[in-house]
Amino acid sequence: MSQTSDQMELREEEIRKHYPAALALLEGFDHAPRIGVARAAEAEVSAGIGTRRAFRSTTPGLVTRRVTPAGRVRIAERIQGLDAGEGLISPLQASVLQALRRALAVSMAMADQYAERTGLSDLKRANLEGSLAAGRAAEFGELLSAEAMVALYVFGSALTFALAELAGAEAVEIGDVDEVLTENAPLALHGAVWELDQEIAAQAGSGAGSETRLISTLMAHAVALMRKVAARAATAPRLSAFTGVNWRVEADGFEIRGFSPARKPRGGQLTMTFKAPNEVVGNHIAKYQAMRLAKMLMAYDFERRLNPFAELGGFIFTFMGDGMPGTGKTTLIQMMAGLIHGYCQVAGYDFRYQNLSVDNIDSYQGKSGQNARAFINQVIDPGVIGFGTVDDIDQIAGRRGDRQSSAGALEITSVLMDAFAGANTVVRGNCTFGMFSNYPENVDDALRQRAGARFLVDGPISREDYIDILALLLGKSHAIPLGDHQLYAAQEIKRAVAASFESHSRPHEEGLVRVYEAVDRQIGKLDTIAKLGTYLKAIQEADARFTGRAIKNITDAVKVRAMDFELPDEWMAEPEAFLLRDYDTKKAMIEELRRPITTEMVIQEINRYADSEFRYADKSDEAAIENAVREMGRLDEARRRYAERKG
């Protein structure tokens, strides 16, 4: 057995010798559930179960208590029966069965190593021979229980690791794991496989158990099992032989680090020119929100599969960045991706960046939608920190009702709408999507309104901004003096952002200014919820596209402002300070920084959002008028030519 400075190798031959036993568990055995309640009807399980001898406990004095009759477990047949009618086992089903056999074999091999290192193997032999000393019965029972917890946890961890690359975005909610038996390792694995079989059957019985959800069901169950076992192990004795040594399965790259879940590196190598925040000139609010969002993502808890910001409010799942060409949208993407990538390297997290481009529009029916769904699945994967961008979304996603929109572009629109705010959308807080456009007025209204936040990418604005960007782009290969100017002082983010938010105390767009002033004359200062609601209704009367979704986006933005703080840099620099803390601790640390919601925040966010909608509407209406004028001109010219030919 090879050994590194901090790892022991779990040898391949030790794993493979357990393949027959693992396969036997998949093919069939009898199990009498002790804690769990059977959910699968007997008729659903195929007959012909083998006559394998039921497990008999080696714990002295233990009486096996059967609450319900023994049930037949044939999980391999259960899996092969999903999506019946094909006649042959599908590639996905084969992959799942291989992963289950491998995970069980690794679990058994790890249990063997624990038994050898703790002397449990000797106690088992003595017990079978009837020579176990009475004074060691308690020790024997504790070691058997510890071995069972090791086997269960490693099984769950190895299974999620093996299935990671097959996992999609679909979330499956399962109940608590009940059949966690810790008398000994074989019985523990029997209970785990029995309950997993029950879960698959329950999904199938609900009409949603096809193989498309099989991976999600297996992984969700394995994670729940690991969580429950880890909670028990926290107070269990005789586990130091397992937690004190790290193990590695070289062939899989799978690492066993006590009761900590293993994660497969799935982020891939990111090739991008990153930008530092001081290299983004202007765009103060967009830059500030992007920097905060990058840190928000790092609060995600991989074990709980949830981000405290998503639970507390204030997490930005989707945002729209719009501005004129050349104002810095690409630079903003490079800055945000660079920040997240750097934080993930510090924490040891997997980071995945994906961009949906015009190359994903395909002439074959349905292919564009498949490409868009694959893009979503890559980013939303709960095992990574994800950042997805759709640059020039007006060219990629079609606008419904627009005769110039191709079928492929409309497919992409449908997929994005469902993914960003559909019936099956689950916001875990591990990823964010940014849509960017020079012409947001050409984006489908419903898709645009699915952007929970708006980043106005307006580029350099002030004299100081233009001096800063000139100095930045010229670099250092010149001898031109800087002159009377403090370089990058105008880019000091907190001061610039405060000024930018303050400017939205009144609206900017002419149409919205008229609405605001009319409401102000009618009811006075907007200082109550009733008055704020009156203002919102007046906006809706001026623009019918200002719907309930707009109100939700505004309130979400207000909650973001309540979280208007940057997580301290030291929290990002030292993983133990925040990143590797447990979920509840991270949530409590974030709650301590939360700010109260004020009337000024609400007014500013109403104006920011409504300004963007009025800006889009004005441009959209003007573009529609110009198109109509061109169509009328063509029609007039066609009539003239027709009259000439007829005459």
> d(Cα 461, Cα 463) in Å, to the nearest integer?
7
540 Cβ contact partners less than 8 Å away, ≥ 6 residues apart: 546, 547
Tens-digit pLDDT profile for residues 194-212:
999 988 888 765 554 456 6
**318-322: strand order across its sheet:** 351-355, 385-390, 431-437, 318-322, 453-456
If 0-12 CB within 10 Å is exposed, 13-18 middle and 19+ buried, where does residue 383 land? Answer: buried
If 0-12 CB within 10 Å is exposed, 13-18 middle and 19+ buried, where does residue 84 land? Answer: exposed
If 0-12 CB within 10 Å is exposed, 13-18 middle and 19+ buried, where does residue 362 land? Answer: middle
143 Cβ contact partners less than 8 Å away, ≥ 6 residues apart: 115, 118, 119, 120, 123, 238
> d(Cα 127, Cα 238) in Å, to the nearest integer?
19
Name the strand (E) or helix (H) holding 266.
Answer: none
If 0-12 CB within 10 Å is exposed, 13-18 middle and 19+ buried, where does residue 168 land? Answer: middle
> d(Cα 477, Cα 199) in Å, to the nearest integer?
66
Query: Which of 329, 335, 299, 331 minimizes the C-alpha distance to 316?
Result: 299
> d(Cα 16, Cα 251) in Å, to the nearest integer?
12
> d(Cα 64, Cα 70) in Å, to the nearest integer?
12
Contact 10, 154 (CB under 8 A): no
Region for residue 483 given its phi and psi (left: phi exceeds 0; alpha: psi -120 to 50; beta: otherwise): left
Q: What is the pLDDT of residue 84?
A: 55
| Dihedral (CA of 503, 504, 506, 510) sign | positive
Q: Helix (H, G, I), strand (E, B), or coil: what is residue 585?
A: helix
Domain ranges for the chain, please list them: 7-50+70-256, 277-447+456-626
Q: Which residues pair with 104 in a beta bridge?
A: none
500 Cβ contact partners less than 8 Å away, ≥ 6 residues apart: 284, 285
358 Cβ contact partners less than 8 Å away, ≥ 6 residues apart: 392, 395, 396
Q: What is the pLDDT of residue 143?
A: 94
> d(Cα 8, Cα 1) in Å, to the nearest integer?
7
Q: Which residues pair with 306 in a beta bridge?
A: 301
Question: CB atoms < 10 A from the CB of 98, how many?
Answer: 11
Torsions phi, psi for 353 (to 5 deg): -110, 135
| Dihedral (CA of 181, 183, 186, 187) sign | negative
386 Cβ contact partners less than 8 Å away, ≥ 6 residues apart: 351, 352, 353, 354, 378, 379, 380, 430, 431, 432
Distances (CA, A) of 426 to 8, 310, 406: 39, 10, 29
Tens-digit pLDDT profile for residues 273-282:
666 666 666 6
DSSP 306: B
Q: Which residues pair with 320 in a beta bridge?
A: 435, 454
Residue indicated by tokens 């003007």: 622
580 Cβ contact partners less than 8 Å away, ≥ 6 residues apart: 347
Distances (CA, A) of 206 to 77, 194, 216, 264: 19, 19, 15, 31
Q: Which two tokens stand for residue 74?
A: 């044939």
Listing DSSP states for 515-575 in one string gives HHHHHHHHH-S--SHHHHHHHHHHHHHH-TT--HHHHHHHHHHHHHHHT-SPPPHHHHHSG
Half-sphere exposure of 494 (CA within 13 A, CB side): 3
- CATH number belonging to domain 277-447+456-626: 3.40.50.300
Residue ranges in the chain modelled with pLDDT below 50: 1-5, 41-69, 208-209, 267-268
Torsions phi, psi for 636 (to 5 deg): -60, -40
Q: What is the pLDDT of residue 601?
A: 87
Tell me the whole-structure pTM to 2 decimals: 0.54
Identify residue 128 by its one-letter amino acid code.
Answer: L
Pairing of strands 71-73, 29-31: antiparallel
DSSP 61: T
Distances (CA, A) of 238 to 93, 143, 232, 502: 38, 6, 13, 60
Residue indicated by tokens 């899996």: 79
Q: What is the pLDDT of residue 312?
A: 84
Q: Where are the alpha helices (DSSP H) in 176-263?
A: 185-205, 214-233, 240-243
Q: Which two tokens stand for residue 280?
A: 């983004």
> d(Cα 48, Cα 138) in Å, to the nearest integer?
40
Q: Which two tokens stand for residue 433?
A: 């999507």
Q: What is the pLDDT of residue 66?
A: 39
Contact 56, 127 (CB under 8 A): no
If 0-12 CB within 10 Å is exposed, 13-18 middle and 19+ buried, where does residue 476 land? Answer: exposed
DSSP 313: S
Name the strand (E) or helix (H) holding 432.
Answer: strand 431-437
Distances (CA, A) of 261 to 98, 334, 518: 20, 31, 59
Q: Helix (H, G, I), strand (E, B), or coil: what is residue 21?
A: helix
